[in-house]
Structure 1
């Protein structure tokens, strides 16, 4: 019986892999391993850049529209995926929303850019680009941002209160503590890629779009920014990183 179930599952997974199938393209080699923080299980995840490339191959005239709005202590990004750039606003294939806040241990990560990249990855996953993997797009962070703006006191007031017997507290001598200096966390390659992809594109033709969005529209534009654009060294370095990362993925 278990053997039959296993065969049935394999057959169903094979059907899922045919969703958004593009002749000659297999996203499997581009999937990366990530470890579930709760279970320690190693799973597969498809990077957002590869989802975007896959989407562009499937829908050459497609469009990814992103809107970002500030909220309390975070940015909220909404991404919509369209099969054609001329489709009406409400005629989208899939939609997703993601919010990201500032992380003290990752001060160089822009919450606005992070939210935008996350929303795009989830929207593409909802559209079927990477459903055969455990998680397509960006994995969820360990601690969710406080999107409701609740303080600890607010949370305590909303929690059911139980009577606590009054106790007489005796003064205690305060202990002196010292803190070890915390070294800044080094970003992973994927985190660096997310930052680079979320940088604004300096090309007039693509005004208002990020390098990640332009990558799916015109990969040659990213090469131009990396090799010929001189207006902003940070943008140039971001474009170079995207090109180098893509080259590494292609030769891996």
Structure 2
């Protein structure tokens, strides 16, 4: 890096300094719209940075809206896991659209989650610069990269595109689900919650019609939009015999975590 860039990075990193950890070592090199090279710090390294400094902290995620073609996720950063709900140090939202021809677009819920977390961490000081939503150049990025002076570009190695934290797990779960369906198993109330979670798809969970209680007749997807907190109740507090209801709620909640 040139002297000015090094100075800027030193000041930014000192906001949340961790002894023995240098965020600049994890910067990724990208090509800008005009061919210039840029720095970018992936979300997985922002999470690592945050955990090193605040091991008792927490990062929450909440579905604000979930539709067939887009998702809106909210993320908040707390310095301690026992902090009250309104004591967060930063809050950010992200929206992602479904695109069937794109690997990231097919995982639009997960990419929205990753983007929301990345923005919240950047706002809390765990990034190489702060930016407003909408500044990103690419859907896999969550804030604006920093342009690299031409003379300094050779010092930053190329790296693979950032992998979504849950990508391997989701692919594994999808494989298990397909194999289970191939054996003729369809979601059924006689199954345990664990069995149902292996055979129900996210779409089926979202379209599940609540059969009892105050929200009877609504789908869980509709409830996610109107009252997201109610999904948590079905996961944590519901003790009835509707295993499909509990399983579908768990699937939706897991998609946002």
Q: What's the TM-score once normalised by structure 2's chain length?
A: 0.50
Cα distance in 2 for partners of 1:128, 1:80 equals: 13
Q: Measure how far apart 1:196 and its partner are.
A: 2.1
Q: Measure how far apart 1:10 and its partner are.
A: 6.1
Is the 2:77–2:124 contact (alpha carbons within 8 Å) kept by the matching residues of 1? yes
1:114 correspondence with 2:85: no
Query: Counterpart in 2 of 1:190?
Result: 161
Cα distance in 2 for partners of 1:29, 1:9 equals: 14
Partner SS state of residue 97, structure 1: strand
Q: Measure how far apart 1:28 and its partner are.
A: 1.1
Partner SS state of residue 35, structure 2: coil
Greater Cα shift, 49-58 or 123-132:
123-132
Cα distance in 1 for partners of 2:60, 2:99 equals: 26
Cα distance in 1 for partners of 2:130, 2:39 equals: 6
Please list every run of at least 4 consecutive aligned residues from structure 1 whose deviation after the TM superposition is greater than 4 angstroms: 6-13, 132-135, 197-200
Query: Counterpart in 1 of 2:46?
Result: 51
Cα distance in 1 for partners of 2:27, 2:3 equals: 24
1:127 correspondence with 2:124: yes
Q: How many residues align?
A: 151
Query: Counterpart in 2 of 1:73?
Result: 69
Q: Measure how far apart 1:139 and its partner are.
A: 4.4
Is the 1:116–1:198 contact (alpha carbons within 8 Å) kept by the matching residues of 2? no
Is the 1:114–1:194 contact (alpha carbons within 8 Å) kept by the matching residues of 2? no
Q: Measure how far apart 1:41 and its partner are.
A: 1.6
Q: Measure how far apart 1:73 and its partner are.
A: 2.9
Cα distance in 1 for partners of 2:111, 2:73 equals: 9
Once the two structures are superposed, residues 158-198 of structure 1 have per-residue CA deviations (whole angstroms, 9 ceiling, x without a partner) of xxxxxxxxxxxxxxxxxxxxxxxxxxxxxx94354455278
Q: What's the TM-score once normalised by structure 1's chain length?
A: 0.51
- Looking at both structures, which has the greater relative contact order when contacts are Cα pairs under 8 Å and sequence separation is at least 6? 2
Q: Where in structure 1 are there 5+ consecutive unaligned residues?
A: 1-5, 144-187, 205-252
